[in-house]
Amino acid sequence: MINTVNECDLSTRIDLLDTLEAVLHEALVKIFISSRSNTDIAYRLRKYPKLELTSSRNRDDIIAFVKTETETLVSRKRLLRYSST
């Protein structure tokens, strides 16, 4: 399982960034990308609007978001204890 873009191997990352750029260029969509501050990723996506979240600057917001989303998933039975999905 790949958790963040920067965890992709380089060839996969290049293909993924190509695809993301094509989607962002052609469609009116929002895409959530999780990554550490890798130069190649930041450079490739530099012209698109972004919101940078860091635990040091946004700790309370991140905690609130994760709590709310988790509660929603649990209530919809989409996140279950000991589930593999």
Give me the residue label for tokens 């978001």. 65
The verdict on 42 and 57 lying in the same domain is no
Residue 1: pLDDT band (50, 70, 90) is very low
The verdict on 39 and 18 lying in the same domain is yes
* pLDDT score of 41 more than 80: no
- Work out how many domains the chain is built from and give that number: 2
pLDDT at res. 2: 44
What whole-number distance in Å separates Cα of residue 72 and Cα of residue 79?
9
The verdict on 39 and 66 lying in the same domain is no
Percent of residues, the chain, with pLDDT higher than 70: 75
The verdict on 3 and 44 lying in the same domain is yes
The verdict on 39 and 57 lying in the same domain is no
The verdict on 36 and 63 lying in the same domain is no
Give the count of alpha carbons within 13 A of 45, CB side only.
26
**Which residue range is the domain that position 61 belongs to?**
53-85
The verdict on 30 and 5 lying in the same domain is yes
The verdict on 12 and 38 lying in the same domain is yes
Report if pTM > 0.85.
Answer: no
Residue 85: helix, strand or coil by DSSP?
coil
